[in-house]
């Protein structure tokens, strides 16, 4: 048995999704920008996919733009908004995905903006008073706060953050890559001017995503070229990827309640069994606190041990795929920037387990038993 518990990194492609993609790989191969019948047929399917996505997030089709994934979508929102609107200040948190942090850091390094990082506590909760104070002295700024953290699963109250931003005429971007397809998103009530999705996070294909751009915000494109995506993104569209994205999101919304219950049950089961079988096990951030965290993610903190350095390797040897959430540069393990921002004890072992609709109780029990054995705690 090989156990896959790294679904926050990517999810398996749903067979139902592949079935709708296949004809656009083999039969419907026209360029959607072509005016002949082959092109028109594909254009109709592409625009149908756009309408599907727009309807699911309660947006206008004209506010949905397809991209290569979440990273491009984040970059588009950040770079294009700041430059198009002439914004000189940005606010984000030190726990954001690098697609956000690195984009803003480059703009700061180039002298285009002043960047403020929000304070966070040891559980990774954002200091919204700090946000309000900063906006009071820097109105009309750019704010980027993710909906849920990809490493520890903390959920942020984007609606509350959006209300603060509105009071100070700030533009709000939210990286919703980890929550898209797992929670419903209604752009009319969510409050962010931008949100993003990446198909491979909800059982769609890799290499395709989308961005919602509030029609009230007028920005220039990030990628220059042809007039595709209503002049917002040059380049021939990834048609079969877009078809797959729309179908995957449609399935996610259709089956969301059942999948939520199933996955939450697996997460709760793992929490209970880890507490029972491993002494001094802890959970990073709000990872184990029910509705305060993403139900697909559990970030486990294990006792200091010689085992920690080779933890992920040993899990892999035991046929368990999981993530440490760390970044490596030139072979040197720098550790997770998220855990460091929270002040976590980096001498402990940290592993992120992330679940999908395809995981089973048997897999959870095997993963816990394997961890317990590695930490020399007798299994129950």
Residues annotated as catalytic (active site), given as ranges: 328
Nearest CA among 263, 361, 259, 370 for reference residue 321? 370
Burial of 55 (0-12, 13-18, 19+ CB in 10 A): middle
d(CA 42, CA 47): 9
d(CA 195, CA 90): 17
What radius of gyration, in Å, describes the C-alpha atoms of the chain? 21
CB 177 within 8 A of CB 150: yes
Count the alpha carbons within 13 Å of 55 in the hemisphere toward its beta carbon: 12
Nearest CA among 157, 164, 95, 143 for reference residue 123? 95
d(CA 43, CA 51): 12
For 102-250, strand residue ranges (E) read: 114-117, 142-144, 171-174, 194-198, 209-213
CB 113 within 8 A of CB 89: yes
The encoded tokens of residue 339 equal: 């855990």
Axis crossing angle, helix 37-57 with helix 239-254, rounded to the nearest 10 = 30
d(CA 95, CA 340): 9
Residues 6+ apart with CB under 8 A from 218: 84
DSSP-derived secondary structure letter, 116: E
**Residue 261 CB neighbour total at 10 angstroms:** 11
């Amino acid at each position: 048995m090989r156990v896959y518990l790294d679904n926050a990194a990517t999810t398996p492609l749903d067979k139902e999704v592949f079935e709708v993609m296949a004809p656009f790989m083999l039969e419907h191969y026209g360029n959607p920008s072509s005016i002949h019948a082959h092109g028109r047929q594909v254009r109709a399917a592409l625009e149908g996919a756009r309408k599907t996505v727009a309807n699911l997030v309660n947006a206008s089709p004209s506010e949905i733009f397809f991209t290569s994934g979440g990273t491009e979508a984040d970059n588009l929102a950040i770079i294009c908004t700041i430059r198009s609107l002439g914004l000189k200040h940005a606010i984000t948190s030190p726990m954001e995905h690098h697609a956000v942090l690195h984009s803003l850091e480059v703009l700061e390094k180039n002298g285009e903006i002043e960047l403020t990082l929000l304070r966070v506590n040891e559980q990774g909760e954002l200091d919204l008073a700090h946000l309000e104070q900063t906006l009071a002295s820097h109105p009309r700024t750019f704010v980027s706060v993710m909906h849920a953290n990809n490493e520890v699963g903390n959920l942020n109250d984007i609606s509350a953050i959006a209300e603060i931003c509105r009071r100070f005429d700030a533009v709000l971007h939210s990286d919703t890559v980890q929550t898209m397809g797992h929670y419903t998103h209604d752009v009319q009530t969510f409050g962010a001017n931008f949100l993003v999705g990446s198909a491979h996070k909800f059982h769609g294909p890799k290499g395709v995503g989308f961005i919602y751009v509030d029609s009230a915000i007028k920005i220039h494109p990030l990628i220059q070229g042809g007039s595709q995506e209503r002049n917002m993104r040059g380049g021939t569209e990834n048609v079969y990827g877009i078809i797959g994205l729309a179908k995957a999101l449609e399935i996610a919304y259709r089956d969301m309640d059942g999948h939520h219950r199933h996955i939450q049950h697996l997460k709760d089961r793992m929490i209970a069994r880890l507490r029972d079988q491993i002494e001094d096990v802890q959970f990073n951030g709000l990872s184990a606190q029910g509705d305060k965290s993403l139900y697909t993610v559990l970030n486990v903190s294990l006792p200091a041990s010689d085992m920690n350095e080779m933890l992920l390797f040993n899990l892999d040897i035991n046929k368990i795929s999981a993530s440490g959430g760390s970044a490596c540069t030139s072979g040197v393990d720098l550790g997770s920037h998220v855990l460091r921002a929270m002040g976590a004890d980096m001498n402990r072992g940290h592993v992120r387990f992330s679940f999908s609709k395809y995981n089973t109780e048997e897999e959870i029990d095997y993963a816990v038993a394997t961890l317990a054995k590695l930490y020399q705690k007798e299994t129950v």
